Copies of this chain bind each other. A is one copy, B any other.
């Protein structure tokens, strides 16, 4: 796979060694050269205009900031980079004077317009900011937790147990039967949009076992050989998409209606045409989705 995939390609050095260096982090947050990515209701700030890119602020925006601690994203060009959750502000564009220059657009709708490196940073920032927003308490004892290590852990203020951001592995697989592939539509998706089957890897499962289980459960199809293709971070809220091609060894589709509204076999020619423009019967996922890349790789485009 040589095409860049949305949300990968983060250009920052995550610089793990500095996460535990409180002096470094505190000093960086005093320096004008440090770059702060404001995140509001899980959307990072994006510069308006013909060339959209992430919009960075200086540590000055943290003056009087009563919200969550900034999270250390990493380093580039000798400058520390942080993300900060400013969701507590009602009208941040007005309050910080960003109106007209920047905004908080929906990340799924915008990532395809950002430079690839910015998409990777946006994924990292959204993933970790979301995690902090939903992990203020210790799952072991129910008391409050506080962030540590530049935001890459939380520690319980009562029992001292440490908690780390979670990343949920998801298998997504294009099931193939020679010149045909299996695509399905989840309940609620707009017609004619279909995609590859997908599901979370469960505890005590290998990737291959998860692929076989999901395809059997959702579509009633038995799978033989499985080939890993590529992967993608998908921060909605915390997935790691693991893309595979899986050879069907049975053909008769029997869907689980709680998972899929429909599923069918589509020929390479149909899929190639739909990659150009949706047909009445078939719309394929857009380029920001790993499924698009799995399909494209399969048809050889």
Contact = CB atoms under 8 A, between A and B. Distances in A.
Interface of A: 5, 7-8, 10, 14, 16-17, 120-121, 123-128, 131, 134-145, 152, 161, 163-169, 200-209, 213, 217, 228, 230-233, 235, 238, 240, 242, 256, 258
Give the oligomeric copy count.
2
Nearest to A14: B213
A125 B204 CA distance: 8
Given A8-B208, A169-B169, 10 more contacts: A10-B204, A120-B209, A127-B203, A131-B203, A137-B138, A165-B202, A167-B201, A203-B235, A204-B233, A204-B235
Contacts of A135: 139-140
Given A16-B217, A169-B240, A209-B10, A203 B128 contact: yes
Nearest to A143: B142
Contact of A238 (B125, B144, B203, B233): B203
Nearest to A120: B204
A297 to B, nearest CB: 14
